[in-house]
Structure 1
Amino acid sequence: MSASAPDPAPGPASLETKPEGAGRRLAFRGSLDTGAAARLWPEAMRTARGARPLVLDLAGVTGLDTAGAVLLLRLEREAHQAEWRGLAGGPLQALLDRTRAALDRPGPPPQPTLPFLARVGQATLDQGKGMVVRIAFLGEAIVASLGAVRAPWRLRWSEILRHLDEAGLRAFGLTILLGFLIGLILAFQSSIPMKQFGAEIFIPNLVGISLLRELGPLMAAVILSGRTGSAYAAELGTMTVNEEIDALRIMGIDPIAWLVLPRLLAAMLVMPVLALLMNLAGLLGMSVVMGTLGFPLVAVVNQLQAWVHLGDLAGGLAKAAAFGLAIGLVGCRAGLAAGRGPRAVGDAATSAVVGGIVSIVLLDGIFAVLFFRLGW
């Protein structure tokens, strides 16, 4: 919104300050547009404070927009007593009147503050709606999986191989390094109390069972959640923000079968391999520590053969496959549920990592109770 004075000579806006009786006179010249208002605002407000009266001389103003009008009205309010000159009821006066009416219009009413019980109820409803969405996504994934079982040729095997490479093969180095360090640390920390009782020979038993049953699958799942779960959420979140998911639905293509299933299958297949690598690297690190303690490799192998059974390895690999499925589900669901703002993709990736870690810890607790009840 802008208005022009009858004087056709435009020019850069300037401000001239002069004494006017007991007050001050602000004489504006040129086009008082947005840029000029921002440039002249500090000086004009500083002069207007405490000026009684304040004379606003607009005789030299050749143009005025809404930002300039807001500046003039703020000066009038700051001085508490202002006198206008150079308006003469023209278009400048009309723009000032419209701007004054807009500034005096009351804003939106404040949001009412709910009582504590109502806030608790609202939070409960929001959590319930979120749980319904998660259950619906799980149901869609199950239906799509059953459809893939009936027609496996419809799966995008090239996408499955690509995700196997990204989630598995490219994570081998990090998994081996972390597993070696975990085995090294466990063996060193275990040797301190066991040395007091002369029981260093039982370190392979402790480290082997801990790695195969718990730490191997759990640490591999943390790696998969941080690398792959966040990548799934970022990829699908970007597609959601760009409305590519909506375009697939409009074309009659199910995003769950087209995008989610290959990622779920890849995560579930790669997790046992990562857990196995973690176990082997951890046992290697433990063997290095045992060698420094004076125990030969054959003694370590004999202890492992005597105390670590195939059931320990099978239970850990089964847990790893379940962890991979949970991480894939959480990551894909976070990506498909991304919003439309600039922070949507980052929030989706964060939600995938946090949700994936929480889910694997909960699943690990469930497996622990189940294995205890089964005597495994």
Structure 2
Amino acid sequence: MTMPGDFVEEITEDGVMTLRFSGDLCIAVIADLPERLRDYDAEVKKLDLSGVGYIDTVGAWLIHRTARDTGAEIVGADNQAERLIAAVSTADQPADVRLEPPNPVIRILNEVGESTIVAFTTLAGLVGFFGSVITATGSLIMHPGRIRWNAVIQRFDVVGVRALGIIGLMSFLIGLVIAQQGAVQLRQFGAEVFTVNLVGRLTFRELGILMTAIMVAGRSGSAFAAQIGTMKLTEEIDAMRTIGVSPVEALVLPRFFAAVFMLPLLGFYASIVAIIGGGLLSWVELDIPPATFFARIREVVPITDVYVGLVKAPVFGAIIAICGCYQGMQVKGNAEEVGKRTTAAVVQAIFLVIVLDAFFAMFFSWIGWN
């Protein structure tokens, strides 16, 4: 029968204060014994365990802590109690850990090296994923009956039609800002009329499509990664492979087609709205009538500027779709991974869009489309 652990005070013949324990010192029946021992403040020289029956690690720790705090000697323990008390005493020793501060140069080099490896690994993964998309596209061209038109039209609606409002507002405000800042600077030289040139060429050639691509990357690229990542986490993609459905054809290609085909339309739309915003400010601030403004736009903006924006747009759309879908496919482990991959998709898409825009600028300058 299990007896609750207890203790009594006892003074031996030689005048030594002793705590004599009895019963079982185990977690099941230890009750309030730890609190009573912690509050015990009399001077104790010995802890007598000769009357203790069963003892577990909790009881051993209790005896060890009491002996450590009071400086008392443990006597009367059997072999099992001695082993347990010795074990908990060893575990209670402070670890001798000496942490030397890392060399800052070595730490920086390690971080740069790790980031470089991750960057090249991700780039290789994106290129490989793009290859699988091209392969799947060729397969659909050979077998057009497998094209999921409902999914494609739905993605066109989500990526394009539902983005008109936010992209239109953003472009209108950008047109206002370009015109206002251009007018302020050019007024110093009496050349306010060239604000029309600035607004027209900058929006059609660069900012219209670039800002649209950044907006689509944040809006649709993140959605691509989150949607596919969630399906990967819930094993829906594995189930699709099991029943013979290609995840690339069913999930990636509709999003890829939507981004590639809708971004030129959104970019051109954004440029037109930015021109309207710039024209409105020029009318209010510079007294340039709308008819004069748009006539001047036709004179100073070469058609090559429109071509530049339309050529860059589908490439940017492909980059956004590839980054979003690729990062979604890499999700594994837990829900936190979905957030990390979504963030990575947006950052990578915007970075690659800006890098490619710089290459396009140098290329078009080289071929004479200035």
Q: TM-score, with normalisation over the residues of structure 2?
A: 0.78
Pair 1:79-2:69 in alignment:
yes
Q: Does structure 2 retain, via aligned residues, the 8 Å contact 1:338–1:348?
A: yes
Runs (5+) with no aligned partner, structure 1: none
Residue aligning to 1:273: 265
Cα 1:211/1:122, change in 2 over 3 Å:
closer
Q: Report the Cα offset of residue 31 of structure 1.
A: 9.6
Distance 1:364 1:82 in 2: 78
Q: Report the Cα offset of residue 277 of structure 1.
A: 2.1
Written as runs of structure 1 = structure 2, the 5 A alignment for 1:287-366 is 287-292=279-284, 293-366=286-359
Cα 1:123/1:225, change in 2 over 3 Å:
closer
Please, which of 190, 208, 218 is the counterpart of residue 210 of structure 2? 218
Once the two structures are superposed, what CA deviation does each residue of 1:31-67 show, in whole Å capped at 9, x if it has no partner? Answer: 9759x99x998x6897699987685989899997x7x
Residue aligning to 1:189: 181
Cα 1:128/1:211, change in 2 over 3 Å:
closer
Distance 2:129 2:324 in 1: 12
Considering only aligned residues, what root-mean-square deviation do their CA atoms show, in Å? 4.6
Distance 2:42 2:328 in 1: 57
Q: Report the Cα offset of residue 254 of structure 1.
A: 2.2
Residue aligning to 2:150: 158
Once the two structures are superposed, what CA deviation does each residue of 1:78-131 show, in whole Å capped at 9, x if it has no partner? Answer: 5384566998778xx5994797499589x9x99xx9995994766655554444
Distance 1:364 1:339 in 2: 32
Distance 2:18 2:313 in 1: 79
Once the two structures are superposed, what CA deviation does each residue of 1:250-296 show, in whole Å capped at 9, x if it has no partner? Answer: 33332212211111111111211221221121111111111112111
Distance 1:184 1:340 in 2: 46
Q: How many residue pairs are counted as aligned between the two chains? A: 359
1:318 alignment partner AA: V
Distance 2:215 2:195 in 1: 26
Farther-moved stretch of structure 1 (230-239 vs 47-56): 47-56
Q: Does structure 2 retain, via aligned residues, the 8 Å contact 1:54–1:82?
A: yes
Task: Choose 1 or 2 for highest CA Rg.
Answer: 2
Written as runs of structure 1 = structure 2, the 5 A alignment for 1:1-376 is 6-7=2-3, 68=58, 72=62, 75=65, 79=69, 81=71, 93=81, 96=84, 100=88, 103=91, 116=106, 119=110, 127-292=119-284, 293-376=286-369
Q: Report the Cα offset of residue 23 of structure 1.
A: 8.8
Q: Report the Cα offset of residue 28 of structure 1.
A: 11
Q: Report the Cα offset of residue 158 of structure 1.
A: 1.1
Q: Does structure 2 retain, via aligned residues, the 8 Å contact 1:233–1:332?
A: yes
Runs (5+) with no aligned partner, structure 2: none
Q: Report the Cα offset of residue 204 of structure 1.
A: 1.4
Q: Does structure 2 retain, via aligned residues, the 8 Å contact 1:202–1:303?
A: no
Q: TM-score, with normalisation over the residues of structure 1?
A: 0.77
Q: Does structure 2 retain, via aligned residues, the 8 Å contact 1:226–1:353?
A: yes
